[in-house]
Structure 1
Amino acid sequence: MEQDLISNLPKTILHDILSRLPEKDAARTIVLSKAWTETWYTFAILSFCDTKIIGTFPQPAEDFVRKRKNFIDYVKRTLLRFREQGLAIKEFKLSINCFDLQYMSHDVDLWMKLVSESGVQVLELCLPDGPEQDGEGRDQCYILPVGIIEAKSLYKLVLMGGIRVDRAFLNHSVKFFSLRVLSLWLVLSGEEEAIEHLISRCPLLEYITLKCCSVTSSGGIRGLLEARTSRMKSISMLGLPKLKGVDVQGIQEINIDAPSLENFCFCPGDLHAPFKMNVDNCRNLRGLSLWSLKSMVIIDKWFLDLFSKFPFLESLKFVNCTMSETINISSTQLKVLELSNCSNLKEVNIDAPKLLSCGYCGDGASKPVISFLKSSSQLEVNVLIHMDYMDLGNLRKFIENFKPQNVLASLSLFIHQPIVEELNLNVLQVSTIPPSIKHLDLRAVPKTKTLYMPLVKSLLSSCCPSTISLSLHSFFCNRAFIEFFYETLMGREEECFCSSDHTKCWWHDLKDVKVTSSMTTDENVDFKTMLDALPTFSPHENISFRLEL
């Protein structure tokens, strides 16, 4: 019998192995040997999710009550065992989806106490959404105990859902020197300043995430008190010398004074109302991401001011922002640029000699001219377009608007089914070879078979790709289209542009078409055999064609 050398390794090494495995695989190691069972029961990373025990709904009420009790007992028993054996808890993750917060609050209080006393370094608490979604009062939220943040070993704190930062945090004077990462999602505070005060008491914070946090207030109606919630209006982050990254969503005004800040992502709460973003003192900023800036028009002067304020800026991303029709971007340091669904754009001129990656996302109706005046020889432009079937006639013009042509690396297309299915696309015959691109990715195509031929001919008349990939998700691209596309590439379709013209379609000169899928890389497998071997529903897989001219 072979000796089990791995099971005899020191427990610290076995714990490290478990930490690198997916949670489900780590739990399965208890069947390997007694050593692995003991390793699992002393593993310092604990993760609890009620749905794994309770299951899905609907189910009989008595079953739900029994499973809920089993879950509560299991969590409590595990934490008490760690305390009784004097074991540290490195990470504690709790996700509750099926319980009423009022029902669970006392149990969660106990768990938080046991965890905070066990040397926890990472704490992630995900509870059902509170007033942010259901409009109920503060009693629907779990009140975060001050003792949690007082845990001296706590390095990372993630709070999501119906959790309230109580007034006690305003009056607390202790500084929490251990906390480096703070993430608050849909969290509620009793006072506008509570979260800001909490942040100010953590001087060594390096990363802060605030998303859709709210404030509750009481108002009197005929002598009765009712709780009202509203989005946080403003936040200031001052006196944080170690702060490197900030991600804020749903707050209208933000003020940051952090000399070490490197990355900042901002999305205001009210898209069409004025917003305030003051990060002028963060001179070391490397990455800036701006989402949904609709209440102002970004013009050339804005870019001039931006690059003068932040001379080390390397990454710039805009999502759903409003631009002037023509923008000029000039930077000696910029390496990454992304423009996604930015309205009004007609012309973009980019002078960035170190630019390595540029992403553009838009719709087929928009055809901005994007010119790279100075760029790195390694620059790659990746484009994602949502377009209507009837707009395919404009695709070639869209591709030709990228200058110079050789920078366009990949084009991903979502082609939407026309509302009137008998519509046909008139594909113009062209006498010149279309622009070359490295990769064409068809993520969604119409399902009507009568549209296949004009669709494929329009695509191949618009660009000449080195590789083409199609989704194997049946909702986006069915097998009938994949087979038709392959037959067209192989030149087996009788009806073609060149059947009535002296101009020969470029794909008839293909020397070979190599077919692979993301599930196999063997190019020697017959296409039909490969397609038959693939599962009928493959949401994350694709099939690729490599064209050899």
Structure 2
Amino acid sequence: MMEITNTDERAVNADRISELPEHILHHILCLLRWPADLARTSILSKKWKVIWESFTSFDFDQRHFQCVNAADKWDHLQPLPVEKQSSIFKQAFESLGFVELPLIHKFILFVENTLGTRLDQLPSIQKFRLHVVFSVHLLAPFMNHWISVATDKNVNELDIHAKMDGKFYALPELVFASKTITSLKLNGCEVGDSTAIKLQNLRELSMKAMRINENIVHNFVQACPLIEDMRLINCYGLKFLHVSSLPKLNKFEVHERSSLRSVKLEVPNLETFWFHGKKSSRCKLILAGCGNLKNLTLKHSHMADKSFHELVSHFPLLEKLFLLECRTLHRITILSDKLKTLSLVRCHKLKEANIDAPNLLSFEYTGAELPFSSMNASRLQEVKLHLKSQKQKSVQKFIEGFDGKGFKLFLASKQGVNIYEELRGLHLSYFGAYKIQLTKSARMVENLLNSHLRDFHPKTLILKTSLTSDLLVFIQEKILNKEKTPPSCCKYYSKKCWRHYLEGAKMSLFPDASSAEYPNTILELKWSEAAPLPGCRDMKDINE
């Protein structure tokens, strides 16, 4: 019997995580969302105390104080000594009567205590996030102070979410004069027409659920020449959107909420553009000045065939095209030798589509029937289909077009899964609620099967594969050998994967006269009655 020495014991018990570089440990802290867990790391060791004190990201989310018994969980919070209390805390706290509002009381104490104990030691702040969802009008004086303190500490990334009913939170004006802010994300905030914007180093701008107009957008564009990523999401009041003179703008995203009439972009270096219009949207898109566009996503209910063809003709370098709920497209032709990814999702009136994209790698379609008159995509690696049609012949004919090209077929419903590594002689039965996916990757098939077993606990698994297939090895290891070796994959987690709920599997082998090399293997799966109810996800969503 081998003797275990003290050296071996020290090696087993060594704290490898604490030996990681400081920037990696800071990244680990960023992944801890619950503030109490984040604070507890400071007592792990002297090293972790130093890491905690040098951590330059602050995330204050009021939703953590909304849950059941939240007030009890934060009972340990007490005001700092008077000499460490902020002036706004001393002046406003008692007068606001927070005795009757314990959750607000605790949230303020948490933010004040965190800033009061950590901020003085830091030369600057990397990120400051403040998410407030109730009583913003009461918290506004404190929010002004906290945001001002972060700005004074040369914050780089500022993310403010202030949800108010019918009103908007007005940010302190010094925010818009910061020389260090590179990322500004605002939700439910107010920016005035006359606000002096001098964010000369801003690279990322996001405005969500805000009242804005043409002047506000113009002021940002003129004052922030380094913007690379700009997003306007569900904002009110904007009718005409015109953006130019942003030479570094790489990504632009617009989610329409009010009646936007036109979007005109003259941005030669733009590579990604997203437009999500309302159902009633008749917004005109003018993107002729974006000749280097590579990624285009459109959700536009009133885009006609002619408008679509004129639009995409300006993008010879387009690599990814996503058309979502473009309900007035009837007949389209897509010609591109650069296109690599194409998705057509719920374009319900699309009757004819001609695709000539020899370098296309990934294709997705969701709709009633297959509208493809022709498809030239010789390098295709993956196909995803979700169909409402019961016309089996057209679907089978479409799938047969991939026979002999190395594709594997994955068909799945809530009740069963069919996997074909050979498409020759394929005969589809009823598939109305099936997910259909073609792929050349064996690993992708394994991932799809893993995901489906987790979500739906199907009763049957049917394979048409060779006896030497890697997929059979995977099935042998994960399903058939499971009865002999209890799974140990989730012993540190309270939520278990599907392997812990599979009680047994019965396998049968049936030869296939049409393809002797690829017999049919059928597995009947038995699941534990204690398993959580599967099928929480709808079949139509698992393609999305």
TM-score w.r.t. the length of structure 2 is: 0.69
Question: Which residue of structure 2 aligns with residue 155 of structure 1?
Answer: 182
* Kept after mapping to 2: 8 A contact 1:283/1:310: yes
**Which residue, 47, 62, 74 being the options, matches 1:35?**
47
Q: 1:360 deviation in Å?
A: 0.6
**Which residue, 349, 361, 365 being the options, matches 1:360?**
365
Matched, 1:45 2:57: yes
* Alpha-carbon separation, structure 1, partners of 2:226 and 2:65: 38
* Kept after mapping to 2: 8 A contact 1:156/1:180: yes
Matched, 1:528 2:499: no
Describe the SS at the equivalent of 2:103: helix
Q: 1:277 deviation in Å?
A: 1.3
* Alpha-carbon separation, structure 1, partners of 2:337 and 2:24: 48
Question: Which residue of structure 1 aligns with residue 90 of structure 2?
Answer: none
* Kept after mapping to 2: 8 A contact 1:15/1:43: no
Question: Which residue of structure 2 aligns with residue 501 of structure 1?
Answer: none
1:305-324 mapped onto 2 (5 Å cutoff): 305-324=310-329
Q: 1:401 deviation in Å?
A: 3.8
Letter in 1 for 2:265: I
**Per-residue deviation, residues 233-290 of structure 1 (Å, max 9, x unmatched):** 1222121000000000113321111111001111234x33532212211111111111
**Per-residue deviation, residues 63-114 of structure 1 (Å, max 9, x unmatched):** 87123112112212322334433442111111122x2221111111001100
Measured on the aligned residues, the alpha-carbon RMSD in Å equals 4.1
**Which residue, 229, 236, 240 being the options, matches 2:246?**
240
1:292-311 mapped onto 2 (5 Å cutoff): 293-299=300-306, 302-303=308-309, 305-311=310-316
1:496-535 mapped onto 2 (5 Å cutoff): 521=478, 523-526=480-483, 528-529=503-504, 531-532=527-528, 535=531
Distance 1:473 1:11, change over 3 A: closer
Q: 1:5 deviation in Å?
A: 6.3
Letter in 1 for 2:248: K
Describe the SS at the equivalent of 1:119: coil
Matched, 1:181 2:188: no
Distance 1:59 1:180, change over 3 A: closer
* Kept after mapping to 2: 8 A contact 1:316/1:336: yes
* Alpha-carbon separation, structure 2, partners of 1:460 and 1:274: 34
Matched, 1:81 2:117: yes
Identity %: 23
1:11-22 mapped onto 2 (5 Å cutoff): 12-13=22-23, 15-19=25-29, 21-22=31-32
* Alpha-carbon separation, structure 1, partners of 2:410 and 2:226: 45
**Which residue, 139, 147, 153 being the options, matches 1:112?**
147
Matched, 1:166 2:192: yes
Describe the SS at the equivalent of 1:52: helix
Question: Which residue of structure 1 aligns with residue 378 of structure 2?
Answer: 376
**Which residue, 180, 190, 196 being the options, matches 2:218?**
196
* Kept after mapping to 2: 8 A contact 1:7/1:33: no
* Kept after mapping to 2: 8 A contact 1:241/1:260: yes
Describe the SS at the equivalent of 2:102: helix
Distance 1:36 1:516, change over 3 A: same
Distance 1:27 1:175, change over 3 A: same
Q: 1:203 deviation in Å?
A: 0.6
* Alpha-carbon separation, structure 2, partners of 1:105 and 1:29: 31
Q: 1:147 deviation in Å?
A: 1.3
Describe the SS at the equivalent of 1:458: coil
Matched, 1:255 2:264: yes
Distance 1:438 1:27, change over 3 A: farther
* Alpha-carbon separation, structure 1, partners of 2:281 and 2:254: 16
Distance 1:56 1:184, change over 3 A: farther
Question: Which residue of structure 2 aligns with residue 493 of structure 1?
Answer: none
* Alpha-carbon separation, structure 1, partners of 2:360 and 2:437: 25
**Which residue, 275, 279, 299 being the options, matches 2:283?**
275
Describe the SS at the equivalent of 2:247: coil
Distance 1:200 1:533, change over 3 A: farther
Letter in 2 for 1:45: S
Q: 1:398 deviation in Å?
A: 2.9
Describe the SS at the equivalent of 1:289: strand
Distance 1:57 1:398, change over 3 A: farther
Matched, 1:23 2:46: no
Question: Which residue of structure 1 aligns with residue 494 of structure 2?
Answer: none
Distance 1:309 1:59, change over 3 A: same
**Which residue, 356, 364, 374 being the options, matches 1:351?**
356
Question: Which residue of structure 2 aligns with residue 397 of structure 1?
Answer: 394
* Alpha-carbon separation, structure 1, partners of 2:29 and 2:252: 27
* Kept after mapping to 2: 8 A contact 1:313/1:333: yes
* Kept after mapping to 1: 8 A contact 2:353/2:372: yes
Matched, 1:438 2:448: no
* Kept after mapping to 1: 8 A contact 2:71/2:102: no
